[in-house]
Every structure is written in C-alpha cells, then in structure tokens.
C-alpha cells in the first residue's frame, strides 16, 4: 500500500515566529522524495507535522485522505526517524526493536534481524549508550523494517560513517523496489543521496521554492567546459556560478535553461556541456547576501 500526501496553505508559528509560510504541495504515493533546505529552513518542522508530532497553526495536511494529527490509525502508517531519536533510558536495542515492532503493523522481523546483523548492533546494550553512528544505524533499521507506507528519515543517517550510509542507501532502494512506499529523506548530504530522489522539494526560510522531478531540476543549469575565452564568451549575460580554471581550460556552471540553438552554438565553439549537480543548484538557489561565491 502506498499513501499520498496533500499539504494546503500550511503554516507553523512558534510564538510570534513563523517557521512555515503557506506551504502547498502534493506528493503522490510510492515515490522517494528529497527534502532540502538550509539550516533552520523548516524541514524538521514540516516533517514533524506530517508525522503528527506537531499540530500546524493554519492550513491542512492529509495523508491518504485523512488528517494525521491525533489519528491513531494514521500513526501506524507513518514512521518518522530523526537523527536525535528519543530513546527510553532503560531500553536495550532489543527492547527498542520490540517496541517498534508493536507500533507498525507492516513490521518485518526477519528484515530487522538482517539489518541488525549488517550494522552489528549489540542487542543487549542500552540504546542510549550506543555511539552516535550506532544510534543512527538503529534508527534507520527501525525505519526500514517498519515498512510504514509513509517513511520519513530526517537527517537520520548523518551520524553514520560512509560505508554504513551507503549500506542504508542500497537497502532503502532495494527494499523500496520490493515494497513500494512513500519515502521522504531530508538531508544535507545532497550529492550522496541525489540519485535516489524521484522528486525534490526545497524550502527556504519556511517557503517552498522548488518542487520538481529531479531530472527536470538538473536542466535548470549546465556545466560548460572548454577554452577559457570561448567559455567566457558563451557565459556572457548569463547567471554563472561555480567557476573553475585549469591552465587555459575553464569550467563554469550557468543557471537557466539553454535552448537547442544555444547548445548547438556552444558545441560548435568547442565547448562541452554537462549536467549540473543538484548540490550546486541548491547552493545557488538558496544563496543569501554574505555567502561566499
Ligand atoms: N520549538 C521551537 N521553538 C521555537 N522556534 C523553533 C522551534 N523549533 C524550531 N524552531 C525554529 O524554526 C525554524 C525552523 O527550524 P527547523 O528545525 O524546522 O529547521 P531545519 O530546516 O530542520 O533545520 P536544520 O537543517 O538546521 O536541522 C528555525 O528558525 C528554528 O529556530
């Protein structure tokens, strides 16, 4: 089963501070979404509302057609894994897994055991006493094995070392192919995870500035490489970021879609056009006064 999500004019205020401004978007069920945003942009606030950890100040959220807040049926359908997951002081890893098994009806014990083995999680150890990376490994184990129709990972794998993170990405993709569900990943490690995203949402200062298919976002910019003079001529009048020079060869990223004629002109001048990284585009789109170029 997959569940879609609809968010309409969603606002969240903390006292007099507005963290989320009129967010409106629709997520189809059964896709992997990337949620990107700079520090403090409102990612956790948004995800907490989707997971019914928090009630919005205005607007509406519906998951599979139902409002999630204080909706026991919905809580079984949504699994929210945060980096700073709260663990009961006295709980062992085994207890944490047993509790998770009782929360999510689609829980797969055999898959959880496989992940425990992969991550070498010590079942008898108190969960609060695990290292940061091991806590993250426990978190992603719970998120994956929950098989919840809506599974949200809020930077939950940041504490893990690179091999463990790659294991997570691989497991997520394989398990998602076998058991399609709606997955939202918020991350600052954009390039590492970008290939998993089918669609990307970018929020900036509590406002949604992008919601598009990943492939379509990548067409918003191009990497242009070639002889420095030809690159400069081509880039004139265009928005340029991410400039690199090696000898007489230069590479720049130009922002904005290029039509066929512009691409043909570039190629005829000996320039190479390549795709732009999602991370470069994200940095450009969320740039603020005072940021380094
Ligand atoms: N409980 C709270 N009380 C008051 N302000 C809050 C509270 N929680 C978050 N905020 C504020 O809301 C804004 C959004 O915070 P949020 O944690 O949602 O951002 P984020 O995008 O997840 O950030 P990061 O990438 O740094 O984790 C920030 O300005 C933050 O200070």
- Concatenating the DSSP letter of every residue in the chain gives ----EEEEEEEEEETTEEEEEEEEEEE-SS-EEEEE--TTSSHHHHHHHHTTSS--SEEEEEETTB--TT-HHHHTTEEEEETT----TT-BHHHHHHHHHHH-TT--HHHHHHHHHHTT--TTSBGGGS-HHHHHHHHHHHHHHH--SEEEEESTTTTS-HHHHHHHHHHHHHHHHHS--EEEEE-S-HHHHGGG-SEEEEEETTEEEEEEEHHHHHTTEEEEEEEHHHHHHHHTTSEEEEEEEETTEEEEEEES---HHHHHHHHHTT-EEEEPPHHHHHHHHT--TT---
Are residues 32 and 129 part of one domain? yes
What CATH number does residue 26 fall under?
3.40.50.300
Q: What's the gap in Å between 117 CA and the centre of ligand 1?
A: 35
Extract the residue ranges of the chain whose pLDDT is less than 50: none
Domain assignment present for 283: no
Residue having the nearest C-alpha atom to atom 14 of ligand 1? 42
Q: What's the gap in Å between 20 CA and the centre of ligand 1?
A: 10
- CB of 41 sitting under 6 A from ligand 1: yes
- CB of 105 sitting under 6 A from ligand 1: no
Domain assignment present for 162: yes
Are residues 231 and 185 part of one domain? no
- CB of 36 sitting under 6 A from ligand 1: no
Are residues 251 and 155 part of one domain? no
Q: What's the gap in Å between 292 CA and the centre of ligand 1?
A: 23
Residue having the nearest C-alpha atom to atom 31 of ligand 1? 40
Residue having the nearest C-alpha atom to atom 1 of ligand 1? 14
Q: Which two tokens stand for residue 253?
A: 């990223």
Are residues 172 and 151 part of one domain? yes
What CATH number does residue 246 fall under?
3.30.70
Domain assignment present for 41: yes
Angle between helix axes 93-103 and 109-118 (nearest 10 degrees) is: 150
- CB of 37 sitting under 6 A from ligand 1: yes
Q: What's the gap in Å between 46 CA and the centre of ligand 1?
A: 10
Could you say which of 184, 215, 246 is where a domain stops?
215
Are residues 117 and 209 part of one domain? yes
Are residues 261 and 163 part of one domain? no
Evaluate whether ipTM surpasses 0.95. yes
Could you say which of 215, 234, 261 is where a domain stops?
215
Q: What's the gap in Å between 45 CA and the centre of ligand 1?
A: 6
Domain assignment present for 74: yes
Domain assignment present for 284: no
Edge-to-edge strands of the sheet including 207-213? 78-82, 150-154, 182-186, 32-36, 199-204, 207-213
Are residues 267 and 239 part of one domain? yes
Q: Which two tokens stand for residue 266?
A: 């570039």
Domain assignment present for 286: no
Domain assignment present for 123: yes
Are residues 175 and 39 part of one domain? yes
Count each helix (H run) and each strand (E run) in the chain, helices first: 11, 13
- CB of 43 sitting under 6 A from ligand 1: yes
Domain assignment present for 291: no
What per-residue confidence (pLDDT) applies to 24?
97
Q: What's the gap in Å between 12 CA and the centre of ligand 1?
A: 11
Placement of tokens 């069920």 in the chain: 29
**Structural domain that includes position 53:** 5-215
Pocket test for ligand 1, best of 19, 153, 207 (most atoms within 8 A of CB): 19
- CB of 45 sitting under 6 A from ligand 1: yes
Are residues 208 and 245 part of one domain? no
The number of beta carbons lying within 10 Å of the beta carbon of residue 285 is 16
Could you say which of 191, 215, 239 is where a domain stops?
215
Number of domains in the chain: 2
Are residues 136 and 62 part of one domain? yes
- CB of 187 sitting under 6 A from ligand 1: no
Per the CB < 8 A criterion, the answer to whether 59 and 209 are in contact is: no
What per-residue confidence (pLDDT) applies to 231?
93
Residue having the nearest C-alpha atom to atom 9 of ligand 1? 45
What per-residue confidence (pLDDT) applies to 185?
96
Q: 23: which strand partners?
A: 10
Are residues 270 and 186 part of one domain? no
Are residues 66 and 104 part of one domain? yes
What per-residue confidence (pLDDT) applies to 257?
79
Q: HSE-up of 112 (CA within 13 Å, CB side)?
A: 22
- CB of 16 sitting under 6 A from ligand 1: no
Q: What's the gap in Å between 263 CA and the centre of ligand 1?
A: 42
């Amino acid at each position: 089963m997959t569940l879609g999500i609809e968010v309409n004019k969603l606002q969240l205020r903390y006292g007099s501070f507005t963290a989320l401004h009129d967010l409106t978007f629709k997520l189809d069920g059964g896709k992997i979404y990337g949620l990107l945003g700079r520090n403090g942009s409102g990612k956790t606030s948004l995800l907490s509302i989707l997971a019914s950890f928090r009630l919005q100040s205005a607007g509406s959220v519906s998951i599979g057609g139902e409002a999630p807040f204080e909706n026991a049926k919905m809580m079984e359908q949504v699994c929210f894994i945060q980096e700073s997951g709260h663990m009961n002081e006295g709980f062992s890893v085994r207890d944490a897994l047993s509790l998770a098994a009782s929360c999510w009806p689609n829980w797969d014990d055999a898959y959880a055991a496989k992940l425990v083995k992969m991550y070498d999680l010590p079942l008898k150890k108190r969960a609060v006493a695990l290292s940061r990376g091991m806590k993250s490994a426990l978190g992603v184990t719970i998120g994956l094995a929950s098989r919840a129709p809506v599974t949200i990972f809020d930077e939950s794998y940041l504490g893990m070392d690179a091999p463990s993170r790659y294991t997570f990405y691989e497991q997520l993709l394989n398990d998602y192919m076998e058991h399609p569900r709606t997955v939202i990943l918020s991350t600052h490690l954009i390039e590492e995870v970008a290939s998993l995203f089918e669609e990307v949402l970018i929020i900036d200062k509590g406002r949604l500035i992008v919601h598009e298919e990943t492939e379509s976002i990548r067409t918003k910019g191009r990497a242009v490489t070639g002889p420095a003079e030809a690159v400069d001529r081509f880039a004139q009048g265009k928005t340029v970021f991410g400039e690199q020079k090696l000898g007489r060869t230069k590479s720049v990223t130009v922002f904005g879609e290029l039509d066929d004629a512009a691409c043909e002109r570039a190629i005829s001048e000996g320039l190479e056009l390549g795709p732009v990284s999602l991370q470069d585009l994200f940095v450009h789109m969320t740039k603020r006064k005072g940021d380094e170029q």
